[in-house]
């Protein structure tokens, strides 16, 4: 007999997010609820939550870049990024993002996953450049359109990272696949796995690239 009760924890997350409670609160409540429904004593749940939070601190290290980014913004970095693109002939939002997508995939494919990222490159450089390119071509943007351009810049970073990194042999997900299959007696090398990430990477570039190409066309029609 399978115990379905712990699945209610998922429901807590979905309902909590939908009702727009603070996500940190929702996640904490969901964690406690899931543990209790899984028949763990309260102190064990609390301990497991605390232990996992402590073990995962490395996830939050990225914020140490903020003093540098903030300082450079004070001296006009975003304005400079805009000026650079505004003076560049033929630079459109779509083309700029397509170049970034390809670069992000290539660098991730050789293991350089943290060279770019939302805090390091998207906020200070890519998003202002994408906006400047759109404004140069299509005049000033309303707030909704500006938000869409910034969101697609962030999306481009994610797509490039996800569908580039698995081509690299020593990335965590390839090692995880290798380990999981090995536990069923299926022995594969990282190379055998990572080569099969290439077709998906090409599809990702074509699909997202086509959307970025259409973005220029959509922005043009808006005027």
Determine which residue in the list 57, 89, 221, 223 makes contact with other proteins, applying CB under 8 A. 57
Nearer to other proteins, 56 or 139 (CB): 56
Residue matched to tokens 């309260």? 42
CB 97 within 8 A of CB 209: no
Residues 128-157 that bind other proteins (CB under 8 A): 143, 147-148, 150-155, 157
**Candidates 91-99, 112-120, 133-141 — which segment interacts with other proteins by CB under 8 A?**
112-120
In whole angstroms, give the CA distance from residue 83 to residue 133.
Answer: 10
> How many angstroms separate the Cα of 191 from the Cα of each of 109, 169, 203, 204?
13, 6, 20, 20
Q: Does 1 bind other proteins (CB under 8 A)?
A: no
Q: Does 184 bind other proteins (CB under 8 A)?
A: yes
Helix axes 42-55, 23-37, angle to 10 degrees: 130
Structure tokens at 209: 């690239």
CB of 26 to other proteins, least distance (A): 8
Determine which residue in the list 100, 194, 216, 219 makes contact with other proteins, applying CB under 8 A. 194
**Candidates 91-99, 132-140, 176-184 — which segment interacts with other proteins by CB under 8 A?**
176-184
């Amino acid at each position: 007999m399978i115990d379905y009760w712990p699945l209610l924890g998922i429901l807590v997350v979905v309902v909590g997010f939908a009702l727009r409670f603070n996500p940190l609160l929702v996640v904490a409540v969901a964690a406690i609820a899931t543990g209790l429904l899984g028949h763990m004593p309260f102190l064990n749940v609390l301990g497991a939550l605390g232990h996992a939070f402590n073990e995962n601190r490395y996830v939050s290290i990225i914020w140490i870049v903020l003093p540098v980014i903030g300082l450079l913004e004070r001296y006009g970095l975003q304005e400079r990024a805009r000026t650079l693109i505004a003076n560049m002939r033929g630079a459109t939002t779509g083309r700029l993002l397509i170049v970034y997508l390809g670069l992000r995939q290539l660098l991730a494919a050789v293991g350089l996953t943290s060279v770019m990222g939302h805090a390091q490159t998207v906020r200070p450089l890519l998003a202002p450049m994408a906006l400047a390119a759109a404004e140069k071509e299509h005049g000033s943007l309303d707030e909704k359109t500006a938000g869409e351009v910034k969101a697609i810049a962030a999306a481009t970073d994610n797509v490039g990272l996800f569908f580039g990194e698995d081509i690299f042999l020593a990335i965590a997900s390839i090692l995880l696949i290798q380990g999981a299959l090995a536990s069923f007696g299926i022995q594969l090398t990282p190379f055998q796995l990572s080569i099969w990430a290439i077709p998906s990477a090409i599809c990702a570039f074509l699909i997202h690239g086509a959307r970025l190409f259409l973005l220029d066309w959509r922005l043009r029609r808006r005027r």
